[in-house]
Homo-oligomer: A and B are copies of this chain.
Amino acid sequence: MFGWIKLSLLVASLAMITPNSPIKTSVAFSVIGYLITVTLIPRVGDSFIKIGLKGKDMSKAAPAHEIPESMGVVSAITYLFMMFGLIPFVFFKYLVSYSNLSNESFQSKNYLDQYNSVDDTKLFPHNKLSQYLSAIICLQGTILLGLFDDLFDIRWRHKFFLPAVASLPLLIVYYVDFSVTSIVIPTFVLNHLPFGDVLLNVINNVIKLGNHLVTYVTGLSFSTLNSDYSVPQGTPKLLDLGIFYYIYMSSISIFCPNSINILAGINGLEVGQSVVLAIIFLINDMCYLASPDVTNAAYDSHLFSVIFLLPFLGVSLGLLQFNWFPSKVFVGDTYCYFSGMVFALVGILGHFSKTLLIFFLPQILNFVYSVPQLFNLVPCPRHRLPRFSTRDGLMYPSLGDLKSPTPISKTILSVLEWFKLIKLEREDGQIVRFSNMTIINLNLVWFGPMREDHLCLLILGQQFVLGTTMVLVRHTIGPWLFGYDNLSWRIK
């Protein structure tokens, strides 16, 4: 019965594969990716357990049996295959014009002489191919890194910066293809902030100094070059970050994978938040693709994003089916890194790395909220997962012990308590325990104990509402704030 549904889905998606329509084909590959994932995961689970990639679900009533860990690898590899297969379809129209040229050129010798190798590059968008390929490299590198992490448990301080290495080819392609390193200063900074002008001038000169230094050492200039993606003349004040823009993009490639990795620990959350993120990103992309005003450059950027996100959605939904409460598989660090990097690269290559960050608001909030523990200002236990109670089968906020309170930790905890952002337990007026600082625990503090899947749904719901709000903000308040809208690169 279930096999028939799968088969008809497969046939339908194969029928959807159309040259000349990358989006349709991407939808088809998304469905195929989903089918491959749900077919493979139950089949390879035992092999994963056999080589030690397994774990016990601590939030279930005993006896907790071992389930396969790192199964996100299956999704990730399936995704890579899908993206390989998509290449000819994404570039189909150019390939055809290319082969038509060949037929004509065989017929007429003059025609052939006109096309020397330099002009050949005009016919095929090699720069777009480079972008596509660099994105795949970046993902493959991230998957390899994640796999090593799952296999060897790399130390936190070693693995934190590694995504930046994987994203190096991405940055080089960015340098060569776009090299837009300017950001727009919101008009209110210039108009309403006291000394806004002066402040900007100082920042600008510091940045220029840094850039001159880098250019002197490397011989390369990192300023914005002329490009389709440049903001038009006459727009509000631009700040050319130069090399600092590359550092910023590199930070994004570090931030996205790690931020998904730390908002984790309950069944379905890692994949669930990635699915929600993908949907929000796709809604934002559709705003561009469906707009009649959209510029070619913006259209291409968001088409790129859609092509990369649809198959990602497919393989993630396949994984979610097995990772949802009660989990039959764990996803592993591989999936978190892979998923974070997919968003980082569509943001970077699609030129909306700042928009990307507002969509990552839940992850950012979780990170900021975690900072006191991550930097050990407040004690941080090995695991900060919520606590499962075998008595009622519900999740409770997990508590950290404050054994040797310092003035800093006491202040932080008291301030958070005042804002109702933490639950403290006192003995003799002294803080002895506090709820661990993750938004997972915070939700349990706010809304009381609940079942694991309800908790996950709650967080995903918050994320979705926040995300769609951000899409609205992005396209209403954003253009007003910055004085222009990159939808049409038009000055408001």
Contacts and interface: CB of A to CB of B under 8 A. Distances in A.
A463 B345 CA distance: 45
Contact of A169 (B106, B133, B141, B223): B133
Name which of A91, A101, A102, A130 has the most chain B CB atoms within 10 A of its CB. Answer: A130
Contacts of A177: 126
A336 B44 CA distance: 24
Given A143-B144, A144-B140, A151-B51, A95 B175 contact: yes
A176 B124 contact: yes
A98 interface: yes
A115 interface: yes
Name which of A125, A144, A228 has the most chain B CB atoms within 10 A of its CB. Answer: A144
Interface string A124-149: 11110110011011001101100100
A164 to B, nearest CB: 11
A75 B238 CA distance: 45
Query: How many identical chains are in the complex?
Result: 2
Given A115-B226, A226-B112, A102 B179 contact: yes
Contacts of A87: 168-169, 172
Interface string A96-120: 1011111101100000100101101
A84 B175 contact: no
Contacts of A120: 127, 227
Contacts of A225: 98-99, 101-102, 105
A19 interface: yes
Contacts of A19: 219
A179 B177 CA distance: 24
A84 B145 CA distance: 15
Contact of A172 (B88, B147, B223): B88
A491 to B, nearest CB: 19
Contacts of A466: none
A165 interface: yes
Contacts of A127: 120-121, 124, 126
A457 to B, nearest CB: 34
A98 B222 CA distance: 10
Given A80-B141, A122-B118, A173 B129 contact: yes
Contacts of A134: 133
Interface string A45-69: 0010001100000000000000000
A84 B52 CA distance: 31
A228 B126 contact: no
A468 interface: no
A98 B129 contact: no
A375 interface: no
A220 B134 CA distance: 25
Interface string A196-222: 000000000000000000010001111
A84 B168 contact: yes
B176 A228 contact: no
25 contacts: A44-B152, A47-B152, A51-B152, A81-B165, A84-B141, A88-B172, A95-B175, A95-B176, A95-B220, A98-B176, A98-B179, A98-B225, A99-B220, A99-B223, A99-B225, A102-B179, A103-B221, A115-B226, A117-B227, A126-B126, A126-B177, A130-B133, A136-B169, A140-B140, A144-B147
Given A96-B219, A136-B137, 18 more contacts: A19-B219, A51-B152, A80-B144, A84-B168, A84-B169, A98-B176, A99-B220, A103-B221, A106-B223, A115-B226, A121-B121, A121-B122, A121-B125, A126-B176, A130-B130, A133-B134, A144-B144, A151-B151
Interface of A: 19, 44, 47, 51-52, 77, 80-81, 84-85, 87-88, 91-92, 94-96, 98-103, 105-106, 112, 115, 117-118, 120-122, 124-127, 129-130, 133-134, 136-137, 140-141, 143-144, 147, 151-152, 165, 168-169, 172-173, 175-177, 179, 215, 219-228
Closest 4 CB pairs of A and B: A126-B126, A99-B221, A133-B133, A140-B140
